[in-house]
Amino acid sequence: MTDDDDADLVTLIDDELDEDRKKVLLARLETDERLRERYEALRQTGAPIAASFDALLRQAPIARLRAGLPLEGPARALSGRFAGIALRDLAAGIAIGLVVAGLAAWVAMSLAPTKGKEDWRSAVVDYTNLYTNETFSPLNPDLPLQALELSAVGARVGANLTPNNIALPGLRFTVAFMLAFEHAPLGVVAFVDPDGAPVLLCIIANKAPDAAMRSEKRGDLSLAWWSRNGRSYLVIGHMPEEQAITLAQTLEKRV
Amino acid sequence: MSEASRREVRAGLEPCLARLWRYALILSRAKDAADDLVQATCLRAIERADQFAPGTRLDRWLFAILRSIWLNEIRARKIREGGGFVDADDALSIDGARDIETNILATQVLKVIGQLPGAQRETVLLVYAEGYSYAEAAAALSIPIGTVMSRLATARAALTKLK
């Protein structure tokens, strides 16, 4: 046996060997016991390698890395967007023709607390439009990592999140991470459909009063949301509105 | 186009942080260097967001930036400063007492991987952790596919000695 044999065997294991060499190697494997043993020894290293890299991923100091993101990073962009939305609403609905900046203090004191509870959805809509079918598809955490991410996000927003209770039919969980909106922690649980299209469950600890489920379409996005125990929940994705409601109803019973 | 690029880059950074850090750790074998490398990558990505083509793989674009910074800046600086590299025995390890039994094998595997040359470590990560095909890894690393094959075979052969 040679180093070339190892290379061919590993390439066969990884299903990357071209057809001609594959035929030759498979024929040799049928008759050469030592080669078969070597094939098996090399094959058995695959799972430990994958498990080790998953373990390393769990060591990533996410909070520290997130803190080092540039100011235009996601969490801050989302927080910042609220200011823009509030001012736009003000301009459109109340203060047309007035100097918007001069009313900013009034907005902060009286309008913003009410509007803030509503406008987090607008911010999430803006944000969701930025995600593509490639954003989350490459992420495929193993079960322990899923549990870890969900538990960390759940702790921040005060919800019990586990791989089981967030599992949704036809969707694959990819990642859970934290954003912020108006200083309120906003947890995002990201799924993808079979085409890779993102579907998000967002949970914000915004102290909103309990509210029954509602739904709407915003452009191509469907939203279904409800509030309970000081938290608001939102399911959002490019799908029919009825599907968003069904997913939200499933989660409402479990989360 | 450029505004779409900037927005997509900003939105996509956060979900990639852990994987960027893992790549940085595999390259540098030092956690402080990995932190620096990820931060530098994020800054560079925002600066050069106009160069990102919306709808293409952001993670791979970020990996390419990270690798370039490592090869051209941080590694070079460490060598210049005489900082060298950490002892490979301690380089890649699993912290904490949680899941100790599960982590024993992972730690052993990482120890072996940590002792491989950087080029092999990187190839193993891209193919086995990040799902690059051989052709994609060859393109990302600017090497022939045959070199990808031999690097992976050498790494796996080293791991067959683990008992």
For the residues of A34-76, what is the DSSP string, one character each?
A: HHHHHHHHHHTTHHHHHHHHHHHHHT--HHHHHHTS-TTSHHH
In chain B, which stretches have pLDDT less than 70? 1, 75-103, 163
Q: What is the pLDDT of residue B155?
A: 96
Interface of B with A in 11-70 (CB under 8 A): 11-15, 17-22, 25-26, 31, 35, 38-39, 42-43, 46, 54-59
| Domain shared by A78 and A18, yes or no | no
Does domain B91-163 match CATH 1.10.10.10? yes
CATH 1.10.10.10 segments of chain B: 91-163
Give B94 or A34, the one with higher predicted confidence.
A34
Q: What is the pLDDT of residue B20?
A: 96
| Domain shared by A133 and A218, yes or no | yes
Hey, what's the torsion of the CAs at A96, A97, A103, A108, to 10 degrees?
Answer: 20
A11/B106 Cβ within 8 A: no
CATH 1.10.1740.10 segments of chain B: 1-86
| Domain shared by A100 and A196, yes or no | yes
**ipTM above threshold 0.90:** no
d(CA A244, CA A221): 9
**CATH for A95:** 3.30.200.100
B127: number of CA atoms within 13 Å, CB side?
31
- Both tokens of residue A106? 């009034």
| Domain shared by A134 and A27, yes or no | no
Total residues belonging to chain B:
163
| Domain shared by A29 and A83, yes or no | no
Q: Which of B3, B16, B21 to mutate to test the interface with A (most CBs of A within 10 A)?
A: B21
Q: Which of B31, B39, B134 sits opposite A16 (nearest CB)?
A: B134
Q: Is the pLDDT of residue A51 over 50?
A: yes
- Both tokens of residue A180? 């912020």
B113 contacts in chain A (CB < 8 Å)? 49, 52
B103/A66 Cβ within 8 A: no
Q: Which of A42, A45, A135 sits opposite B15 (nearest CB)?
A: A135
B7 contacts in chain A (CB < 8 Å)? 130
Q: What mean pLDDT do residues A40-61 have?
A: 88
d(CA A176, CA A174): 7
Instruction: List Cβ<8 Å contacts ≥24 apart for B59-63.
Output: B59/A134, B59/A138, B59/B12, B59/B16, B59/B19, B59/B130, B60/B136, B60/B140, B62/B12, B62/B13, B62/B16, B62/B20, B63/B20, B63/B23, B63/B126, B63/B130, B63/B140
Burial class for B43, CB neighbours closer than 10 Å (0-12, 13-18, 19+): middle
| Domain shared by A154 and A249, yes or no | yes
d(CA B153, CA B148): 9
B92 contacts in chain A (CB < 8 Å)? 56
Q: What is the pLDDT of residue B8?
A: 84
H helices of A44-172, in order, are 46-58, 62-67, 74-93, 104-106, 112-128, 143-157
A175/B128 Cβ within 8 A: no
**A53 lies in some domain:** no
| Domain shared by A14 and A73, yes or no | no
| Domain shared by A146 and A198, yes or no | yes
Cα B141 versus chain centre, distance: 12
Number of domains in chain A: 2
A73 contacts in chain B (CB < 8 Å)? 10, 13-14, 42
In the chain, the amino acid numbered B81 is E
**A231 lies in some domain:** yes
Average pLDDT over chain A, rounded to whole? Answer: 79
d(CA A180, CA A82): 11
Q: Which of A41, A69, A130 sits opposite B8 (nearest CB)?
A: A130
Q: Is the pLDDT of residue A109 over 60?
A: no
B152 touches chain A (CB under 8 A): yes
Coil, strand or helix: which one is A187?
strand
Going by C-alpha positions, the residue among B129, B149, B120, B156 that lies closest to residue A42 is: B156
d(CA A78, CA A88): 15
**A99 lies in some domain:** yes
| Domain shared by A223 and A110, yes or no | yes
Q: What mean pLDDT do residues A217-228 have?
A: 94
B162/A10 Cβ within 8 A: no
**A151 lies in some domain:** yes
Percent of chain A with pLDDT over 70: 80
Residue reference for tokens 């730690």: B107
| Domain shared by A106 and A37, yes or no | no
Q: Which of B152, B161, B162 to mutate to test the interface with A (most CBs of A within 10 A)?
A: B152
Q: What mean pLDDT do residues A165-187 have?
A: 87
Q: What is the largest CA-CA distance in chain A?
A: 87
- Second CATH level (architecture) for the domain B1-86: Orthogonal Bundle (1.10)
Q: Which of A5, A8, A9, A10 to mutate to test the interface with B (most CBs of B within 10 A)?
A: A10
Q: Give the structural domain span for A17.
A: 3-44
**A218 lies in some domain:** yes
| Domain shared by A40 and A66, yes or no | no
Mode of pairing for the β-strands spanning A198-204 and A184-192: antiparallel
B150/A3 Cβ within 8 A: yes
Q: What mean pLDDT do residues A241-252 have?
A: 95
Whole-prediction pTM: 0.59
Percent of chain A with pLDDT over 90: 43
Tens of pLDDT, residue by residue over A58-68, are: 888 888 888 87
A51 contacts in chain B (CB < 8 Å)? 105-106, 109
| Domain shared by A137 and A189, yes or no | yes
